[in-house]
Amino acid sequence: MSRRPQAQQPRVAVLGAGSWGTTFGKVLADGGADVTMWARRAELAHEIDEAKRNSQYLPGINLPRSMRATHHLAEALEGVEQVYLSIPSQAVRQSLKGVRPLVAKTDAPIVSLMKGVERRSGLRMSQVIEHELHCDPARIAVASGPNLALEIAREQPTAAVISSVSHETAQAVARRARNAYFRTFVNTDVIGTEFGGVLKNLIAVAIGIVDGVGYGENTKASIITRGLVEMTDFAVAQGAHPETLQGLAGLGDLIATCQSPLSRNNTAGRLLGQGYSFQDVVKQMQQTAEGLASVAPVLQLAREAGVVMPIVEQVKMVLEGTMNPRDIAPHLTTDDDTPKGERTQNGHDGGGAALWRSLQRTLDQLRDGGRRAQRDQS
């Protein structure tokens, strides 16, 4: 039986068949693309290809008939117009070595779905892609936003940001990665978009810790609010635009990840708060919690930039076993015992207005995406 896609459907590849990779493959297929998934394990590729299921990572979800899967990289990448990467951040460099010769003679955009930094180098995923694939940064895009995989696989409406230094590349990817329940916006702030996705994971671990301890909504609201300040200060110091952290890739993703039991980073933190050791948490987690691997490299970058991140510092201490999880919350809302102004945006005092404007902007974007979805269906 021929496996050639229909001529009118653009062919794309998604490398990595975990929950997020498979979900994004479904997003693309539901948007009209002919999708080939690459799975490292042959049995997983077979299940997706034949049963249109991924029972380990997306139980109960039926996948589109236009989704195919293989465990052969060359087959997955043959003739594709776009390549999406959903590989654990600490394994992506090694995985890309096999990808490089297969995409070297194409100009297909390479899209990162990953939210982590490389532990050894502190590089963002787009930087690792650029280095390993030897490709022009204008060919690389990143996707981020409030995107909990299982909710999207269930076709619950959400939105995301596609970012590239090339506005043309961002637009091309955004047009492909959208459908009736998944809307995409664009920007050219790759640094802010990527770090938003990384940093919210660290704050979500902190939320999980205090949740596991048994603290309530006041504590969690304080951490989320002060966490947004840490995220913005750090990202701006790295060259990001502060408004990016106020949008879907920052505040939007932060809210979704911190409040949902579907969040792997929230779950990992909750186990830490319940008294499990770091090693025990890793054993219990069936999927990678990127926040755990990103704490050390983010703090190293913060120190080099002169940015203070007390929440992330204390998450590190809990991970190392040098702080009792119950002791984390009282220290989170200020850097020290000296009263300070409430910085809500890039180091400036501004009361609650800036945070409210950030939240309002995110909600407006989500509502606008829903209205467009209705217009598209009418």
* Catalytic positions: 200
- Please give the DSSP secondary-structure letter assigned to residue 48: I
Tokens 């598209």 appear where?
376
Q: What is the rounded distance in angstroms from the CA atom of residue 113 to the CA atom of residue 181?
A: 18
> Could you tell me which residues are beta bridge partners of residue 159?
183
| Distant-in-sequence, close-in-space partners of 221: CB < 8 Å, separation ≥ 6 | none
Q: What is the rounded distance in angstroms from the CA atom of residue 20 to the CA atom of residue 149?
A: 5
Contact 157, 181 (CB under 8 A): yes
Contact 358, 244 (CB under 8 A): no
Q: What sign results for the dihedral spanned by CA atoms 309, 315, 317, 323?
A: positive
> Could you tell me which residues are beta bridge partners of residue 93?
none
Q: What is the DSSP string of 230-252?
A: HHHHHHHHTT--HHHHTSIIIII
At residue 348, what are phi and psi to the nearest 5 degrees? -100, 145
Tokens 């180098």 appear where?
121
At residue 185, what are phi and psi to the nearest 5 degrees? -115, 170
Tokens of 314: 């204390």
Distance of CA 123 to the CA centre of its chain: 15
Distance of CA 179 to the CA centre of its chain: 19
- Please give the DSSP secondary-structure letter assigned to residue 4: P
**What type of residue sits at position 352?**
G
Tokens of 32: 């009209």
Contact 36, 76 (CB under 8 A): yes
